[in-house]
Structure 1
C-alpha cells in the first residue's frame, strides 16, 4: 500500500527559524529561496539538482506555496532587495570616505 503524504504538512513556520518565514518542513530552506531561484529562471528539476538535500516533491510544494501566496513571498523578496541596496549604498559611501 502506498504511503499518502498530506502536502499541508510539508511547509512549516517556526519563529526561531528564518524569522518565521515559511520553510520546507524538516529543513532550513525557505520558500523564499526556492522562489528566488525559480524567478531567476531555474525550473523545479534544476533547483532540486542544485539543492540536492531536497526532493523534487519538496521543490514543487515550495513553488505551490509561492504561487498560492505570491503577495507574501514577493513582499519578502522586495524587502530583502531593499535591504541589500541599502547596505550596498552604505558600503559605497564608506569606501568613498576612505
Structure 2
C-alpha cells in the first residue's frame, strides 16, 4: 500500500513492520475481519495500516505521531521488534 499524506509518501513495502495484531488464534489471522499494522519509515516517521475483510469497508493508512505510535505499539499483541529498536530515542525509566 502506498499513500501520500500532506506531501509525504507512506509505503508499507519500504517501511519496517514494528507490531501488529495479525496472529494465528487457531481459526484465522484476522481479528473480527480487521487487522492493524504499525510501521516506521526509513526517515523515522510512524504510520498505521488498517486492513479489513468486511464488505463496505476499505483498507487505509494513517500517519502517527511518535506518542500515538508508542501507544499503539503497547496495545498491539504481536511485536516484531523490541521497544528500544522501535523507539530508539525514547528513554525508559523504572516505575
> What range is the shorter-chain TM-score in?
under 0.3
In the superposition, the TM-score normalised over structure 2's length comes to 0.24
Greater fraction of residues in strand: 2
TM value normalised by structure 1: 0.23
**Looking at both structures, which has the greater relative contact order when contacts are Cα pairs under 8 Å and sequence separation is at least 6?**
2
